Amino acid sequence: MNKYLTIQGESSAQYEIQRSRFITHASHAESEEEAREFILRQKKSYFDARHNCSAWVLGEQGDKQKSNDDGEPGGTAGNPILEAIKKRGLTDVVVVVTRYFGGIKLGAGGLIRAYGHAAGLGLDAADIIAMMPFRQVNLTCDYTLFNTIDNFLRQKKIRMGDTSYAEKVTIPLMLPPEQAESILTEITDLTAARCRYEPREEVLLPIPLKDISQASPST
């Protein structure tokens, strides 16, 4: 699994030039079906608009891409929207830019700039998150060790799932792959090897960009 950037939820923005009004809606989408449904929803909402142009980038590698000019001259709408997504390094994103024509033609160059700018405004209004890989490990220990381990985990700012309290305490840990072994070694030393570890699958967790510095434990 690799880190990638996407947006959380939906966002919108508006932009007007030469009497043409551009309304942008962007959304997180994890499949072509989700992207198409979002585009269709915007077309229904703005059924009276002359154009509802769109583009999407999907997949961890951003290798699934599509754009639609929806009646604008070829390459003047969908592609600038697509480029706005790619320029920001985003994936799993769909963008629809609706245009209400104001009576003044913008020309091919003007349309390219307008659609690209409008798409950028919508994306810049979104909450951008990083999907970060974490290795899941279930840590099981006696109750006598719980406070010691809990204090260590909180001090290191290690992400945890819901703790299970049964005959022993089980704490689901979410560890950055590159630091997992060293963290587990520290816990082993701290507890004199009295903990048991159960490795689980690696997962991707959404981390706000402003919190990236907190995604890895402090050293």
User: How many other C-beta atoms can be found within 10 angstroms of the C-beta atom of residue 33?
Assistant: 9
CA–CA dist 174, 159 (Å, integer): 5
pLDDT at site 212: 64
User: How distant is the alpha carbon of residue 46 from its chain centre?
Assistant: 26
pLDDT at site 194: 94
Determine contact, residues 91/57, Cβ cutoff 8 Å: yes
For residue 55, give the H/E element and its range: strand 51-58
What is the model's pTM? 0.83
Identify the CATH homologous superfamily for domain 4-125: Impact, N-terminal domain (3.30.230.30)
Average pLDDT, the chain: 93
pLDDT in tens, 103-135: 888 999 999 999 999 999 999 999 999 999 999
Better pLDDT: 45 or 214 = 45
Which one-letter DSSP state was computed for residue 49? S
Domains 4-125 and 131-209 are alike in CATH topology: no
Determine contact, residues 122/46, Cβ cutoff 8 Å: no
pLDDT in tens, 72-105: 999 999 999 999 999 999 999 999 999 999 888 8
pLDDT at site 17: 94
**163, pLDDT greater than 90:** yes
Local confidence band at 57 (pLDDT 50, 70, 90 cut-offs):
very high
User: How many other C-beta atoms can be found within 10 angstroms of the C-beta atom of residue 140?
Assistant: 15
**196, pLDDT greater than 70:** yes
pLDDT at site 215: 43
**20, pLDDT greater than 60:** yes
Local confidence band at 219 (pLDDT 50, 70, 90 cut-offs):
very low
As a CATH number, domain 131-209 is: 3.30.70.240
| Domain extents in the chain | 4-125, 131-209
Determine contact, residues 64/58, Cβ cutoff 8 Å: yes
For 130, phi and psi rounded to 5 degrees? -105, 130
Q: What is the mean pLDDT of residues 142-147?
A: 95
Percent of the chain with pLDDT over 70: 96
